[in-house]
Structure 1
Amino acid sequence: MRNTKPWLRLRELYTQRAFAFGDFTLASGQKSSYYINSKKILFHSEAVALLGELLYEATCDLPIQGIGGLEVGAIPMSAAAGMYYHQKGRAIEGFFVRKQAKEHGSKERIEGVIKPGENVAIIDDVLTTGESALQAVKVMEEFGCKVLRVVCVVDRLQGAAERLKGYDFQPLYTVADFGVKTPG
Protein backbone atom coordinates (compact mmCIF):
# COMPACT_ATOMS: atom_id res chain seq x y z
CA MET A 1 0.00 0.00 0.00
CA ARG A 2 2.83 2.40 0.87
CA ASN A 3 4.20 4.37 -2.09
CA THR A 4 1.48 3.10 -4.40
CA LYS A 5 -0.21 5.57 -6.72
CA PRO A 6 -3.33 5.92 -4.45
CA TRP A 7 -1.15 6.35 -1.32
CA LEU A 8 1.00 9.01 -2.97
CA ARG A 9 -1.99 10.90 -4.40
CA LEU A 10 -3.89 10.94 -1.09
CA ARG A 11 -0.74 12.18 0.64
CA GLU A 12 -0.55 14.98 -1.92
CA LEU A 13 -4.19 15.93 -1.33
CA TYR A 14 -3.68 15.91 2.45
CA THR A 15 -0.66 18.17 2.05
CA GLN A 16 -2.57 20.60 -0.19
CA ARG A 17 -5.90 20.65 1.62
CA ALA A 18 -5.60 19.50 5.24
CA PHE A 19 -2.34 20.82 6.72
CA ALA A 20 -2.16 24.26 8.33
CA PHE A 21 0.74 25.78 10.24
CA GLY A 22 0.52 28.22 13.17
CA ASP A 23 -0.44 27.94 16.84
CA PHE A 24 -3.11 25.32 17.57
CA THR A 25 -4.62 23.52 20.53
CA LEU A 26 -5.50 19.93 19.65
CA ALA A 27 -8.46 17.87 20.87
CA SER A 28 -5.99 16.15 23.21
CA GLY A 29 -5.27 19.54 24.82
CA GLN A 30 -1.71 19.57 23.50
CA LYS A 31 -0.29 22.62 21.73
CA SER A 32 0.99 22.20 18.19
CA SER A 33 2.64 24.24 15.45
CA TYR A 34 0.56 22.42 12.84
CA TYR A 35 -2.99 21.18 12.46
CA ILE A 36 -4.43 18.49 10.21
CA ASN A 37 -8.06 19.21 9.34
CA SER A 38 -9.26 15.99 7.75
CA LYS A 39 -12.71 17.44 7.15
CA LYS A 40 -11.13 19.34 4.24
CA ILE A 41 -10.33 15.92 2.75
CA LEU A 42 -13.20 13.69 3.86
CA PHE A 43 -15.74 15.48 1.67
CA HIS A 44 -13.61 15.76 -1.49
CA SER A 45 -14.62 13.25 -4.17
CA GLU A 46 -11.17 12.09 -5.27
CA ALA A 47 -9.83 11.97 -1.71
CA VAL A 48 -12.81 9.92 -0.49
CA ALA A 49 -12.37 7.42 -3.34
CA LEU A 50 -8.66 7.06 -2.56
CA LEU A 51 -9.30 6.78 1.16
CA GLY A 52 -11.88 4.05 0.59
CA GLU A 53 -9.32 2.10 -1.41
CA LEU A 54 -6.58 2.53 1.21
CA LEU A 55 -8.90 1.60 4.09
CA TYR A 56 -9.93 -1.50 2.15
CA GLU A 57 -6.27 -2.40 1.58
CA ALA A 58 -5.55 -1.88 5.29
CA THR A 59 -8.36 -4.19 6.41
CA CYS A 60 -9.24 -6.64 3.62
CA ASP A 61 -7.07 -9.37 5.14
CA LEU A 62 -9.32 -9.46 8.22
CA PRO A 63 -12.50 -11.48 8.75
CA ILE A 64 -14.44 -8.34 9.75
CA GLN A 65 -18.13 -7.67 9.43
CA GLY A 66 -17.95 -3.96 10.29
CA ILE A 67 -15.75 -0.89 9.94
CA GLY A 68 -16.24 2.39 11.79
CA GLY A 69 -15.24 4.57 14.68
CA LEU A 70 -16.00 7.61 16.73
CA GLU A 71 -18.20 10.35 15.27
CA VAL A 72 -17.69 12.66 13.26
CA GLY A 73 -14.58 11.66 11.30
CA ALA A 74 -15.45 7.99 11.04
CA ILE A 75 -18.78 8.66 9.32
CA PRO A 76 -17.45 9.58 5.85
CA MET A 77 -14.52 7.19 6.31
CA SER A 78 -16.74 4.16 6.96
CA ALA A 79 -18.94 5.13 3.99
CA ALA A 80 -15.86 5.38 1.74
CA ALA A 81 -14.56 2.00 2.93
CA GLY A 82 -18.00 0.43 2.53
CA MET A 83 -18.26 1.61 -1.07
CA TYR A 84 -14.85 0.16 -1.92
CA TYR A 85 -15.66 -3.14 -0.18
CA HIS A 86 -18.82 -3.30 -2.31
CA GLN A 87 -16.83 -2.62 -5.50
CA LYS A 88 -14.59 -5.55 -4.56
CA GLY A 89 -17.63 -7.81 -4.10
CA ARG A 90 -17.41 -8.05 -0.32
CA ALA A 91 -20.22 -6.97 1.98
CA ILE A 92 -19.37 -4.96 5.09
CA GLU A 93 -21.34 -2.82 7.53
CA GLY A 94 -20.28 0.70 8.29
CA PHE A 95 -20.99 2.12 11.73
CA PHE A 96 -20.15 5.01 14.00
CA VAL A 97 -19.93 5.39 17.75
CA ARG A 98 -21.56 8.41 19.34
CA LYS A 99 -19.52 10.24 21.96
CA GLN A 100 -22.58 9.85 24.17
CA ALA A 101 -25.89 8.05 23.75
CA LYS A 102 -28.76 9.99 22.21
CA GLU A 103 -31.34 11.35 24.62
CA HIS A 104 -34.19 10.50 22.23
CA GLY A 105 -35.25 7.85 19.75
CA SER A 106 -33.45 4.54 20.13
CA LYS A 107 -30.94 6.09 22.59
CA GLU A 108 -28.22 3.95 21.02
CA ARG A 109 -24.56 4.79 21.17
CA ILE A 110 -23.64 2.70 18.12
CA GLU A 111 -25.26 3.61 14.79
CA GLY A 112 -25.24 0.96 12.09
CA VAL A 113 -26.24 -2.68 11.86
CA ILE A 114 -23.58 -4.33 14.01
CA LYS A 115 -24.27 -7.30 16.27
CA PRO A 116 -22.50 -8.51 19.41
CA GLY A 117 -19.97 -11.20 18.53
CA GLU A 118 -18.96 -9.64 15.22
CA ASN A 119 -15.41 -8.67 14.27
CA VAL A 120 -14.77 -5.01 13.48
CA ALA A 121 -12.03 -2.59 12.50
CA ILE A 122 -11.91 0.81 14.17
CA ILE A 123 -10.96 3.75 11.97
CA ASP A 124 -10.09 7.36 12.80
CA ASP A 125 -8.74 10.29 10.84
CA VAL A 126 -5.92 11.84 12.89
CA LEU A 127 -4.55 10.43 16.14
CA THR A 128 -2.38 12.26 18.64
CA THR A 129 -2.73 10.35 21.92
CA GLY A 130 -5.07 7.70 20.53
CA GLU A 131 -7.78 8.49 23.08
CA SER A 132 -10.60 8.87 20.53
CA ALA A 133 -9.81 5.55 18.86
CA LEU A 134 -9.51 3.85 22.25
CA GLN A 135 -12.91 5.27 23.24
CA ALA A 136 -14.47 3.66 20.14
CA VAL A 137 -12.61 0.39 20.84
CA LYS A 138 -13.94 0.23 24.41
CA VAL A 139 -17.55 0.94 23.36
CA MET A 140 -17.41 -1.78 20.70
CA GLU A 141 -15.82 -4.28 23.09
CA GLU A 142 -18.41 -3.51 25.78
CA PHE A 143 -21.08 -4.10 23.12
CA GLY A 144 -19.57 -7.55 22.51
CA CYS A 145 -17.58 -7.04 19.32
CA LYS A 146 -13.99 -8.08 18.78
CA VAL A 147 -11.72 -5.30 17.49
CA LEU A 148 -9.24 -6.86 15.07
CA ARG A 149 -7.43 -3.70 13.95
CA VAL A 150 -7.29 0.05 14.54
CA VAL A 151 -6.47 2.11 11.45
CA CYS A 152 -5.96 5.85 11.35
CA VAL A 153 -5.22 8.03 8.36
CA VAL A 154 -2.47 10.09 10.06
CA ASP A 155 -0.59 9.24 13.25
CA ARG A 156 0.96 12.37 14.76
CA LEU A 157 3.52 10.10 16.54
CA GLN A 158 2.63 11.55 19.94
CA GLY A 159 1.53 8.50 21.90
CA ALA A 160 -1.26 6.78 19.95
CA ALA A 161 0.75 3.61 19.30
CA GLU A 162 1.62 3.35 22.99
CA ARG A 163 -1.98 3.95 24.10
CA LEU A 164 -3.23 1.34 21.62
CA LYS A 165 -0.63 -1.24 22.67
CA GLY A 166 -2.21 -4.68 22.57
CA TYR A 167 -4.23 -3.81 19.47
CA ASP A 168 -3.17 -4.23 15.86
CA PHE A 169 -2.59 -0.52 15.11
CA GLN A 170 -1.84 0.50 11.52
CA PRO A 171 -1.68 4.14 10.45
CA LEU A 172 -1.89 4.81 6.71
CA TYR A 173 0.56 7.70 7.22
CA THR A 174 2.60 9.23 9.98
CA VAL A 175 3.44 12.93 10.12
CA ALA A 176 6.95 11.93 9.04
CA ASP A 177 5.43 10.95 5.67
CA PHE A 178 4.52 14.65 5.31
CA GLY A 179 7.98 15.88 6.32
CA VAL A 180 6.83 17.03 9.78
CA LYS A 181 9.52 16.70 12.43
CA THR A 182 8.34 15.44 15.82
CA PRO A 183 9.93 16.19 19.20
CA GLY A 184 12.35 13.56 20.45
Structure 2
Amino acid sequence: MTTSLARRVYETCHLAGSFRLRSGQVSAEYFDKYLFEGQPGLLREVAEAMVEELPECDVLAGMEMGGIPIATVLSQLTGLPTIFVRKQAKEYGTGKAAEGGPVDGRRVVVIEDVVTTGGALLASCRQLRAGGALIDTVVCAIDREQGGRENLAAEGLRLRAALSRRDLESSLSA
Protein backbone atom coordinates (compact mmCIF):
# COMPACT_ATOMS: atom_id res chain seq x y z
CA MET A 1 0.00 0.00 0.00
CA THR A 2 1.36 3.38 -0.87
CA THR A 3 0.62 6.67 0.82
CA SER A 4 -0.36 8.13 -2.54
CA LEU A 5 -3.02 5.42 -3.07
CA ALA A 6 -4.40 6.02 0.42
CA ARG A 7 -4.55 9.76 -0.25
CA ARG A 8 -6.34 9.31 -3.59
CA VAL A 9 -8.87 6.92 -2.06
CA TYR A 10 -9.44 9.29 0.87
CA GLU A 11 -9.85 12.32 -1.38
CA THR A 12 -12.19 10.39 -3.69
CA CYS A 13 -14.48 8.72 -1.18
CA HIS A 14 -14.33 10.49 2.19
CA LEU A 15 -17.51 12.40 3.06
CA ALA A 16 -18.24 14.46 6.18
CA GLY A 17 -21.71 14.82 7.69
CA SER A 18 -24.02 12.52 9.63
CA PHE A 19 -24.34 8.98 8.31
CA ARG A 20 -26.12 5.90 9.65
CA LEU A 21 -23.94 2.86 9.02
CA ARG A 22 -25.19 -0.68 8.33
CA SER A 23 -24.22 -1.53 11.90
CA GLY A 24 -26.69 1.08 13.14
CA GLN A 25 -23.91 3.33 14.38
CA VAL A 26 -24.01 6.99 13.42
CA SER A 27 -20.77 8.39 12.06
CA ALA A 28 -19.58 11.91 11.29
CA GLU A 29 -17.66 10.53 8.32
CA TYR A 30 -18.34 8.02 5.61
CA PHE A 31 -16.14 6.24 3.08
CA ASP A 32 -18.34 6.05 0.01
CA LYS A 33 -16.57 3.17 -1.66
CA TYR A 34 -18.75 3.43 -4.76
CA LEU A 35 -16.91 6.65 -5.57
CA PHE A 36 -13.62 4.78 -5.99
CA GLU A 37 -15.23 1.60 -7.33
CA GLY A 38 -16.72 3.65 -10.18
CA GLN A 39 -13.29 4.90 -11.25
CA PRO A 40 -11.63 2.13 -13.31
CA GLY A 41 -8.03 3.17 -12.67
CA LEU A 42 -8.47 3.67 -8.94
CA LEU A 43 -10.51 0.46 -8.58
CA ARG A 44 -7.73 -1.47 -10.28
CA GLU A 45 -5.07 0.08 -8.01
CA VAL A 46 -7.06 -0.83 -4.90
CA ALA A 47 -7.54 -4.39 -6.22
CA GLU A 48 -3.82 -4.63 -6.95
CA ALA A 49 -3.10 -3.66 -3.34
CA MET A 50 -5.59 -6.31 -2.21
CA VAL A 51 -3.88 -9.04 -4.28
CA GLU A 52 -0.95 -8.76 -1.89
CA GLU A 53 -3.30 -9.60 1.01
CA LEU A 54 -4.73 -12.76 -0.56
CA PRO A 55 -3.72 -16.07 0.99
CA GLU A 56 -3.66 -19.20 -1.16
CA CYS A 57 -7.24 -20.04 -2.10
CA ASP A 58 -9.49 -21.64 -4.70
CA VAL A 59 -12.30 -19.11 -4.99
CA LEU A 60 -12.97 -15.42 -4.31
CA ALA A 61 -16.39 -14.53 -2.88
CA GLY A 62 -17.53 -10.97 -3.58
CA MET A 63 -20.03 -9.58 -1.09
CA GLU A 64 -23.13 -7.85 -2.44
CA MET A 65 -22.90 -5.10 -3.51
CA GLY A 66 -19.58 -3.32 -3.03
CA GLY A 67 -17.46 -6.47 -2.85
CA ILE A 68 -18.61 -7.64 -6.27
CA PRO A 69 -16.72 -5.14 -8.46
CA ILE A 70 -13.58 -5.59 -6.37
CA ALA A 71 -13.80 -9.40 -6.52
CA THR A 72 -14.33 -9.20 -10.28
CA VAL A 73 -11.18 -7.13 -10.78
CA LEU A 74 -9.26 -9.41 -8.39
CA SER A 75 -10.42 -12.38 -10.47
CA GLN A 76 -9.06 -10.70 -13.59
CA LEU A 77 -5.74 -9.97 -11.88
CA THR A 78 -5.28 -13.43 -10.33
CA GLY A 79 -7.16 -15.80 -12.61
CA LEU A 80 -9.15 -17.11 -9.62
CA PRO A 81 -12.84 -17.86 -10.11
CA THR A 82 -15.34 -15.65 -8.34
CA ILE A 83 -18.70 -16.23 -6.75
CA PHE A 84 -21.13 -13.49 -5.83
CA VAL A 85 -22.68 -13.56 -2.37
CA ARG A 86 -26.16 -12.14 -1.84
CA LYS A 87 -27.27 -10.58 1.44
CA GLN A 88 -30.26 -12.91 1.26
CA ALA A 89 -30.90 -16.02 -0.80
CA LYS A 90 -33.13 -15.46 -3.80
CA GLU A 91 -36.76 -16.36 -3.24
CA TYR A 92 -37.10 -17.45 -6.87
CA GLY A 93 -35.16 -19.43 -9.45
CA THR A 94 -32.41 -21.46 -7.83
CA GLY A 95 -32.86 -19.86 -4.41
CA LYS A 96 -29.11 -19.51 -4.00
CA ALA A 97 -27.31 -17.16 -1.65
CA ALA A 98 -24.09 -17.49 -3.65
CA GLU A 99 -23.97 -17.43 -7.45
CA GLY A 100 -21.25 -18.40 -9.86
CA GLY A 101 -19.97 -21.81 -8.84
CA PRO A 102 -19.57 -24.39 -6.09
CA VAL A 103 -17.93 -23.71 -2.73
CA ASP A 104 -18.22 -27.11 -1.05
CA GLY A 105 -14.74 -28.23 0.04
CA ARG A 106 -13.07 -25.21 -1.56
CA ARG A 107 -10.83 -22.63 0.13
CA VAL A 108 -12.79 -19.40 -0.17
CA VAL A 109 -11.58 -15.87 0.57
CA VAL A 110 -14.42 -13.42 1.11
CA ILE A 111 -13.93 -10.00 -0.51
CA GLU A 112 -15.53 -6.88 0.96
CA ASP A 113 -15.22 -3.18 0.29
CA VAL A 114 -15.46 -1.54 3.73
CA VAL A 115 -15.53 -3.32 7.09
CA THR A 116 -16.92 -1.58 10.15
CA THR A 117 -18.19 -4.14 12.68
CA GLY A 118 -18.23 -7.12 10.30
CA GLY A 119 -21.88 -8.02 10.93
CA ALA A 120 -22.82 -8.64 7.29
CA LEU A 121 -19.59 -10.55 6.73
CA LEU A 122 -20.22 -12.84 9.68
CA ALA A 123 -23.70 -13.73 8.42
CA SER A 124 -22.41 -14.43 4.91
CA CYS A 125 -19.42 -16.45 6.12
CA ARG A 126 -21.74 -18.60 8.25
CA GLN A 127 -23.95 -19.15 5.22
CA LEU A 128 -20.99 -20.07 3.00
CA ARG A 129 -19.54 -22.38 5.64
CA ALA A 130 -22.93 -24.10 5.92
CA GLY A 131 -22.55 -24.79 2.18
CA GLY A 132 -19.19 -26.44 2.77
CA ALA A 133 -16.86 -23.49 2.07
CA LEU A 134 -13.54 -23.49 3.92
CA ILE A 135 -13.11 -19.88 5.03
CA ASP A 136 -10.50 -18.42 7.34
CA THR A 137 -9.73 -15.06 5.69
CA VAL A 138 -11.64 -11.96 4.64
CA VAL A 139 -9.87 -9.33 2.53
CA CYS A 140 -11.24 -5.81 2.34
CA ALA A 141 -10.33 -2.54 0.67
CA ILE A 142 -10.87 -0.40 3.80
CA ASP A 143 -10.93 -1.43 7.47
CA ARG A 144 -12.68 1.35 9.40
CA GLU A 145 -11.06 -0.07 12.56
CA GLN A 146 -14.32 -0.09 14.52
CA GLY A 147 -14.39 -3.64 15.85
CA GLY A 148 -14.70 -5.67 12.66
CA ARG A 149 -11.31 -7.35 13.00
CA GLU A 150 -12.08 -8.47 16.55
CA ASN A 151 -15.62 -9.63 15.74
CA LEU A 152 -14.39 -11.68 12.80
CA ALA A 153 -11.53 -13.15 14.85
CA ALA A 154 -14.06 -14.39 17.42
CA GLU A 155 -15.40 -16.69 14.67
CA GLY A 156 -12.01 -17.82 13.40
CA LEU A 157 -11.77 -15.30 10.57
CA ARG A 158 -8.66 -13.22 9.89
CA LEU A 159 -9.22 -9.77 8.39
CA ARG A 160 -6.64 -8.44 5.96
CA ALA A 161 -7.06 -4.92 4.62
CA ALA A 162 -5.39 -3.07 1.78
CA LEU A 163 -6.11 0.21 3.58
CA SER A 164 -7.10 1.11 7.11
CA ARG A 165 -8.77 4.18 8.48
CA ARG A 166 -5.40 5.10 9.97
CA ASP A 167 -3.71 4.79 6.53
CA LEU A 168 -6.32 7.04 4.95
CA GLU A 169 -6.14 9.71 7.65
CA SER A 170 -2.34 9.71 7.91
CA SER A 171 -2.00 10.04 4.12
CA LEU A 172 -3.28 13.61 4.44
CA SER A 173 -0.28 14.69 6.50
CA ALA A 174 2.30 12.85 4.42
The answer as to 2:124 corresponding to 1:131 is: no
Q: Is the 8 A contact 1:98 1:110 kept in 2?
A: yes
- CA distance, structure 2, for counterparts of residue 43 and residue 23 of structure 1: 23
Corresponding residue for residue 51 of structure 1:
46
Q: Which runs of 5+ in 2 are unaligned?
A: none
Q: Is the 8 A contact 2:149 2:158 kept in 1?
A: no
Q: 2:165 corresponds to which letter in structure 1?
A: V
Count of residue correspondences: 168
Higher RCO, 1 or 2 (CA under 8 Å, sep at least 6)? 2
Q: 1:136 to 1:69 in 2, by over 3 A?
A: farther
Summarize the alignment of residues 57-72 of structure 1 with structure 2, pairs less than 5 Å apart: 57-59=52-54, 61-62=55-56, 64-72=57-65
Summarize the alignment of residues 109-120 of structure 1 with structure 2, pairs less than 5 Å apart: 109-120=97-108
- CA distance, structure 2, for counterparts of residue 14 and residue 133 of structure 1: 22
Q: CA RMSD in A?
A: 1.5
Q: Is the 8 A contact 2:10 2:169 kept in 1?
A: no
Structure 1's consecutive aligned runs of 4 or more residues displaced over 6 angstroms after TM superposition are: none
Residue aligned with 1:12, SS = helix
The answer as to 2:151 corresponding to 1:163 is: yes
Pick the aligned partner of 2:136 from 140, 145, 148.
148
**TM-score, normalised with respect to structure 2:** 0.90
Residue aligned with 1:53, SS = helix
Summarize the alignment of residues 83-94 of structure 1 with structure 2, pairs less than 5 Å apart: 83-86=76-79, 92-94=80-82
The answer as to 2:168 corresponding to 1:178 is: yes
Instruction: Give identity over the alignment, percent.
Output: 29
Q: Is the 8 A contact 1:68 1:77 kept in 2?
A: no
